[in-house]
Amino acid sequence: MTNEPGEGRDLGVSLKLLWGDRTRPPRGRPATLSLDRIVAAAVEVADEIALSEGLEALSMRSIATQLGVGTMSLYRYVPGRSELLDLMLDHVIEIPEDEPDAEAGWRDVLTAEAHAEWRLCMDHPWYPYVDQSRPLLGPNSMRGLDRVFRLLRPSGIDDRTLMMMFGVQSDFVDGLARSYLNERRAEHRTGVSSDEFWQAQVPTLEKALGSGDFPTMADLADNTFDFSYEQLFEFGLSRLHDGFAAFIAARSG
């Protein structure tokens, strides 16, 4: 089965599952099982295996095992893994209950959204690996977008520009999250930490830098590579917003 919800899924079925009534099990289906329970179990399994085996290891069988039911019983509620991924993506989105300060500008709003998306990727390390090039907007996704636009509109920036700003930021967060998670996955896969990996290269790198063939690299400051992914995230986000600010100022000037 494919990892991507955009491929191999029944669009009509996915939309019906996302927006349909899931409170009662359909006639003839076990009352102990529900679509919500299946989705929650799928998220639990994906969270557990994301760093060790990857999202590709998520199967209907592994979800059924988590629930203690037969695999075929899951297909009574959801036709397959692709449709289930659509439900999982919407399930993990949390809408903040607190409202930002009334004086918050677009930069404050986007900063809060970026931090929330980063936490989402860290809490569910499979999330940024799902291809969302053709996303389905479920209830939580729609509520999240509705909230973002409600908070951003007072800035006076047109809706299309706001959507592009939000989209560029989301791609930045997801891309950096994948880079960070790839490093963590490599540690799980090999048992070698990032520090150990680089320490093993020190003798070779020192010899190369002492050869005179790479004079600029040999002259770099000692702290050139001394930053964490969290620091890179904050730096990149601030520079991204600086660019937005310059663009907005140029248009209004």
pLDDT digits (tens, 9 = 90+) for 110-164: 999 999 999 999 999 999 999 887 778 899 999 999 999 999 999 999 999 999 9
Q: Which two tokens stand for residue 253?
A: 């000037």
pTM (two decimals):
0.88
pLDDT, residue 21, reads: 63
Model confidence at 6, pLDDT cuts 50, 70, 90, reads: very low
Model confidence at 203, pLDDT cuts 50, 70, 90, reads: very high
Residues 124 and 80 in one domain: no
The CATH number of the domain holding residue 168 is 1.10.357.10
Residues 142 and 243 in one domain: yes
68 lies in a domain?
A: yes
What is the spatial distance between Cα 234 and Cα 219, in angstroms, rounded to a whole number?
27
Residues 117 and 54 in one domain: no
Number of domains forming the structure of the chain? 2
Residues 221 and 131 in one domain: yes
2 lies in a domain?
A: no
Assign 3-class secondary structure to the chain: CCCCCCCCCCHHHHHHHHHCCCCCCCCCCCCCCCHHHHHHHHHHHHHHHCCCCCHHHCCHHHHHHHHCCCHHHHCCCCCCHHHHHHHHHHHCCCCCCCCCCCCCCHHHHHHHHHHHHHHHHHHCCCHHHCCCCCCCCCHHHHHHHHHHHHHHHHHCCCHHHHHHHHHHHHHHHHHHHHHHHHHHHHHHHHCCCHHHHHHCCHHHHHHHHCCCCCHHHHCCCCCCCCCCHHHHHHHHHHHHHHHHHHHHHHHHC
Residues 41 and 162 in one domain: no
Residues 57 and 85 in one domain: yes
Residues 240 and 178 in one domain: yes
Does residue 4 register a pLDDT over 60? no
Model confidence at 168, pLDDT cuts 50, 70, 90, reads: very high
Residues 141 and 212 in one domain: yes
Buried b (16+ CB within 10 A) or exposed e, 56-72: eebebebbbebbebeee
Does residue 5 register a pLDDT over 60? no
Model confidence at 14, pLDDT cuts 50, 70, 90, reads: confident
228 lies in a domain?
A: yes
4 lies in a domain?
A: no
Determine the structural domain holding residue 138 and report its residue range.
106-252
> Among 38, 61, 91, which residue terminates a domain?
91
Model confidence at 8, pLDDT cuts 50, 70, 90, reads: low
> Among 36, 67, 91, which residue terminates a domain?
91
Residues 126 and 243 in one domain: yes
pLDDT, residue 144, reads: 95
pLDDT digits (tens, 9 = 90+) for 19-72: 886 655 555 555 679 999 999 999 999 999 999 999 999 999 999 999 999 999
pLDDT, residue 103, reads: 78
What is the spatial distance between Cα 164 and Cα 147, in angstroms, rounded to a whole number?
16
Residues 124 and 201 in one domain: yes
Residues 81 and 202 in one domain: no
The CATH number of the domain holding residue 78 is 1.10.10.60
3 lies in a domain?
A: no
The whole-number average pLDDT for the span 68-79 is 94
> Among 46, 68, 91, which residue terminates a domain?
91
What is the spatial distance between Cα 117 and Cα 123, in angstroms, rounded to a whole number?
10
Residues 208 and 119 in one domain: yes
